[in-house]
């Protein structure tokens, strides 16, 4: 893996575009040249335990880091792609050290950035700072799901993390749509059309 790193370059990645519920998260990370993050890679290739451990190390070692999000209202207003771009731009803006350049995972760059940026397909496997950003975004997104699971344990958010699994769809059918569900996503939209709203 080509884990390129420049001390003033920020990696940016997102987590949570696909789920039916909750916010989409993004993170931006600037790593120092002497970082020590064993096993650093795309967050999707790591166990939850490893991600959590690396997230702590990233926050300790990073020259700068920031996490941001766009909530379900923004996702409905702007659609998931544009809401994701807004979250990414917020993460960059949240860095306390302005980067010289931004590396963004994927094939799109958020609009309105005042800093030069480059989109890198599979960047979370190629650029250490993007890998680090993917881990911070994913662990922040999971934390939101654990908090939602405490409020609504019957939906099983701690297990499926909001994705459209058989268990999640069955819970939606049984208990109805929560305000935190993404109303424009097809399975949720179909249940709303049937009047299936969550009631205490």
Q: Which domains does the chain have, with CATH numbers?
A: 9-148 (3.30.420.10), 151-193 (no CATH)
pLDDT of residue 1: 38
Model confidence at 147: pLDDT above 50: yes
Reported as a single tens digit per residue, the pLDDT across 49-90 is 999 999 999 999 999 999 999 999 999 999 999 999 999 999
Helix, strand or coil for residue 22? Answer: coil
What confidence score (pLDDT) does residue 6 get? 57
Question: In the numeric block, which tokens belong to residue 41?
Answer: 């890679």
Q: What mean pLDDT is predicted for residues 17-26? A: 98
Segment holding 24, helix H or strand E: strand 24-30
Percent of the chain with pLDDT over 70: 96
- β-bridge partners, 69: 25
* 26 alpha-carbon distance from chain centroid: 5
Specify the length of the chain in residues.
200
Tell the burial category of 86 from Cβ atoms under 10 Å away from its Cβ (0-12, 13-18, 19+): buried
Instruction: Enumerate the β-bridge partners of residue 24.
Output: 70
Q: Which of 5-19, 37-51, 154-168 has the lowest mean pLDDT?
A: 5-19
**Among 1-5, 12-16, 26-30, where is mean pLDDT lowest?**
1-5
Which of these, 35, 38, 27, 37, lies nearest to 6 by C-alpha position?
35
Residue 200, pLDDT score: 74
Task: Look up residue 97 and give its two tokens.
Answer: 């050290």
């Amino acid at each position: 893996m080509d884990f390129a790193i420049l001390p003033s370059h920020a990696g940016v990645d997102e987590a949570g575009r696909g789920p039916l519920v909750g916010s989409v998260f993004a993170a931006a990370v600037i790593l120092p040249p002497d970082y020590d993050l064993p096993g650093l890679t795309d967050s999707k290739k790591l166990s939850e335990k490893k991600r959590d451990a690396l997230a702590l190390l990233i926050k300790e070692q990073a020259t700068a880091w920031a996490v941001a999000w766009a909530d379900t209202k923004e996702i409905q207003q702007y659609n998931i792609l544009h809401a994701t771009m807004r979250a990414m731009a917020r993460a960059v803006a949240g860095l306390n050290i302005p980067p010289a350049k931004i590396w963004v995972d994927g094939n799109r760059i958020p609009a309105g950035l005042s800093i030069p940026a480059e989109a890198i397909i599979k960047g979370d496997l190629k650029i250490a700072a993007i890998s680090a950003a993917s881990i911070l975004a994913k662990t922040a997104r999971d934390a939101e799901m654990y908090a939602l699971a405490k409020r609504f344990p019957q939906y099983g958010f701690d297990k499926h993390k909001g994705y459209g699994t058989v268990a999640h769809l069955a819970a939606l059918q049984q208990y109805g749509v929560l305000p935190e569900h993404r109303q424009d996503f097809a399975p949720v939209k179909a249940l709303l059309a049937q009047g299936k709203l969550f009631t205490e």
